[in-house]
Amino acid sequence: MTAALRIFSYLPNPRIFKATVAARLTSVELEIRGAAGTELPAWLWDFDAKPLDASGRAQYAHAIRASRTGFTTPLFKTDAFLAAHPFGTVPAAFSPDGAVGISESNSIMRAVARLGRRRRDLYGADAYLESRVDGFLDATLLFGRDVQVYILGLRAGQVSAESHRAMSSAFHAFFTALQSALTGTKAYLAGPELTLADISFMGEMGLLFTEARHLALLEQHGLEAIAGRSAREVFPEVFAHVDSLVGHEAFAPDFGPYLRALEPAA
């Protein structure tokens, strides 16, 4: 059976969990290609993404490009890849024939939801609910950008009181809104049913939870984990929602192993 969508990414990547969770809920077939982020510089970035041996790297020497966010060494990106993905980033999704590229994890998730909408609607029953979900997705995307900057800094061994304060401010503003939403719906973020709003939020939380790997660095600078114990006390409804989703049958196959791998660090 041909997959409805092919996704190339570093693995594991909590942001592609948005697509895999949506796929389980809608019975959409996905094909995932990739490897650890440290291995992707030796991969061909293409619809037919694959690891390159020495002869392959020589064959595709013409495709060497300067790296971008998250990578520090040159990457092998084909012209076809860049035509489909002008921003040149991963995760990168493709239509089954490779003709159409879909960039950004929220858009890839939306594609899955649209492909499987007849089986289960993750967007909303009408234009008003769809637009409400879009509002959460837009806000989550802004929050996700803050999370990415913060986590990339930690991975580079860099953190300052100023950067930590900026991330903490963004976190509290976002979570205050989520707490209010959950207090109103008493179920899911956008209403009584699980939607893309919940799935997208969990993808960004997965990235934020990786700060657990950098607790020693934070402690050296006299700083606390932003998504740590004190945050759970301030935002109990939001973290109860997180815990509930982690145990959900569509989320658990991804988030269970991913979060267990973070436990020794935490």
* Helix, coil or strand: residue 64: strand
Tens digits of residue pLDDT in 32-53: 999 999 999 999 999 999 999 9
Phi/psi zone of residue 88: left (φ > 0), alpha (ψ -120 to 50 degrees), beta? left
Pairing status of strand 30-35 against strand 92-94? unpaired
pLDDT of residue 70: 74
Structure tokens at 44: 């061909």
- Average pLDDT of the chain is 95
Taking the C-alpha atoms of residue 245 and residue 252, their distance in angstroms, rounded to an integer, is 8
pLDDT of residue 125: 85
The whole model's pTM is what?
0.94
Which strand (E) or helix (H) includes residue 77?
strand 75-77
Q: Are 144 and 193 in the same domain? A: yes
Dihedral sign computed on CA atoms, order 246, 234, 174, 143: negative
CATH of the domain at 40: 3.40.30.10
CA triple 259-262-265, angle to 5 deg: 155
Question: pLDDT band for position 266 (50/70/90)?
Answer: low
Question: pLDDT band for position 185 (50/70/90)?
Answer: confident
- Counting the structural domains of the chain, the total is 2
Q: Would 120 be classed as within a structural domain?
A: no
Question: Residue 92 belongs to what domain range?
Answer: 5-115
Of 6-20, 56-70, 186-200, 228-242, the range with the lowest mean pLDDT is 56-70
